[in-house]
C-alpha cells in the first residue's frame, strides 16, 4: 500500500538504550518496532498496550503521528484511520502557550483529552522505564512540544493522504494538577528521532518558567531515571552558570538568590554546584562554602554554556496577552 517502502529507520541515540537488556531481561520491549508516520523506531521498554488489541508481543505496531492511535493491522485498520483522523488537518490539541524559533508548546488537560493522553502515554512508555500513569490521566496536565519543521520529517507517503502542515509533536512533559510535593514535572520525554537536539532543555525550562508564573517553587518528581538525571544535571548546571555569569561582576549571589531567580530548589542547586566543583570551603557570613566565580567561568567555557536560556519568556503567548490587558 505504499507505506512499507519509504519507512525511514531511526537509530537509537548512541546506538543503545540507557540501560542494557542483559541487566534487566524482564524489561525487554513487547513491541519490536514502532512505526510513527514513516519513521521506524526501535522501542527500549515494554508498554501496556491492551493485549486483546495488540497481543502479548507484536513485531510491528503502527502509531498515528497525529493522535497516537495504534494498530498492528496496517491494511484494514491503520490506513483507514489515517484517512479520517480528526487531527490530521488541525493543529495538535490544546492551547498554544509558547511559540519560538519553530517550536510551540501546547497545554492540554488529561481530563478533557483523555483518549489522546492515554495513547500518548502508551507510546511514551516504549522509551521510559519508570512511567506508571497510562489510563488515569485525568489528574494531569500535558505540555506537547510541537516542531513546525521537524528534522527528520514525518511524511505520509500514502496516496490520498496529504502531509500535515500543522507541526509534529516531538516530545512532551506532564505534571500533576495538584502536587502535594510541589512537583513541576511528572514525566518528560523527547521522542528518539528528535533527541540530542537540546529539546529536553526547552521542556525543562518551560516547566520552571511555568512554576515562576504560578508562584510555586518545585522541581521534577523524584527519583529520576538515569536518563532524567543526566538531562536535569545538564539543565541545572547550565542554568546556574548562566545566572551567576549574568550577575554584575562584584555582586555575590547566594544559593537563595539563585533559587529566587531560577526557581530551582535549594537542594538541587547545592548538589549541582558540588558536581560542578565550583565551591570553595571557606566560612563567610555564616556559610560553610562560597561559590568561586572564576571556577564557574572556567566550567562554563569548558562546557560551552550559552548565555541565552533555552526558553525565551517573551515566547509565552498567554503572558503577552496578560501584559496587554494590564496596559
Catalytic residues: 221
The Cα-based distances of 174 to 145, 265, 318 in angstroms read: 11, 19, 19
CA separation for the pair 242, 307 (Å, rounded): 6
Residue ranges of alpha helices (H) inside the chain are: 51-54, 79-84, 114-125, 199-214, 226-246, 255-262, 266-276, 293-302, 317-326
How many Cα atoms occupy the beta-carbon half-sphere of 84 within 13 Å?
4
Report the residue count for the chain.
327
CA separation for the pair 70, 61 (Å, rounded): 7
* Number of other CB atoms surrounding residue 192 within 10 Å: 23
CA separation for the pair 113, 37 (Å, rounded): 21
Q: Environment class of residue 130 by beta-carbon count within 10 Å: exposed (0-12), middle (13-18) or buried (19+)?
A: middle
* Number of other CB atoms surrounding residue 97 within 10 Å: 18
Give the dihedral of Cα atoms 144, 90, 139, 187; nearest 10 deg: -20
Contact by Cβ (8 Å): 205, 310? yes
CA separation for the pair 134, 177 (Å, rounded): 16
CA separation for the pair 42, 156 (Å, rounded): 19
Amino acid at each position: 500500500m505504499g507505506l512499507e517502502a519509504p519507512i525511514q529507520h531511526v537509530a537509537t541515540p548512541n546506538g543503545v538504550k540507557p540501560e542494557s537488556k542483559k541487566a534487566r531481561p524482564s524489561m525487554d520491549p513487547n513491541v519490536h518496532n514502532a512505526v510513527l508516520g514513516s519513521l521506524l523506531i526501535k522501542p527500549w521498554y515494554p508498554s501496556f498496550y491492551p493485549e486483546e488489541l495488540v497481543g502479548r508481543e507484536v513485531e510491528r505496531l503502527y502509531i498515528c503521528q497525529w493522535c497516537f492511535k495504534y494498530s498492528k493491522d496496517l491494511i484494514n485498520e491503520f490506513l483507514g484511520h489515517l484517512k479520517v483522523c480528526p487531527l490530521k488537518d488541525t493543529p495538535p490539541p490544546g492551547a498554544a502557550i509558547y511559540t519560538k524559533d519553530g517550536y510551540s508548546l501546547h497545554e492540554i488537560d488529561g481530563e478533557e483529552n483523555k483518549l489522546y493522553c492515554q495513547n500518548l502515554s502508551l507510546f511514551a512508555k516504549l522509551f521510559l522505564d519508570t512511567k506508571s500513569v497510562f489510563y488515569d490521566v485525568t489528574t494531569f496536565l500535558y505540555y506537547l512540544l510541537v516542531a513546525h519543521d521537524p528534522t527528520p520529517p514525518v511524511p505520509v507517503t500514502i496516496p490520498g493522504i496529504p502531509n500535515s502542515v500543522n507541526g509534529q509533536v516531538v516530545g512532551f512533559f506532564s505534571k500533576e494538577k495538584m502536587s502535594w510535593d510541589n512537583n513541576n514535572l511528572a514525566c518528560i520525554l523527547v521522542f528518539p528521532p528528535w533527541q540530542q537536539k537540546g529539546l529536553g532543555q526547552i521542556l525543562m525550562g518551560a516547566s520552571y518558567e511555568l512554576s515562576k508564573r504560578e508562584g510555586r517553587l518545585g522541581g521534577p518528581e523524584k527519583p529520576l531515571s538515569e536518563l532524567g538525571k543526566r538531562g536535569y544535571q545538564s539543565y541545572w548546571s547550565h542554568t546556574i552558570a548562566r545566572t551567576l555569569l549574568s550577575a554584575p561582576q562584584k555582586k555575590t549571589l547566594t544559593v537563595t538568590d539563585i533559587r529566587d531567580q531560577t526557581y530551582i530548589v535549594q537542594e538541587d542547586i547545592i548538589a549541582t554546584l558540588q558536581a560542578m566543583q565550583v565551591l570553595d570551603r571557606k566560612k563567610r557570613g555564616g556559610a560553610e562554602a562560597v561559590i568561586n566565580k572564576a571556577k564557574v567561568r572556567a566550567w562554563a567555557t569548558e562546557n560551552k554554556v550559552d548565555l541565552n536560556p533555552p526558553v525565551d519568556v517573551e515566547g509565552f503567548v498567554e503572558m503577552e496577552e496578560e501584559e496587554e490587558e494590564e496596559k
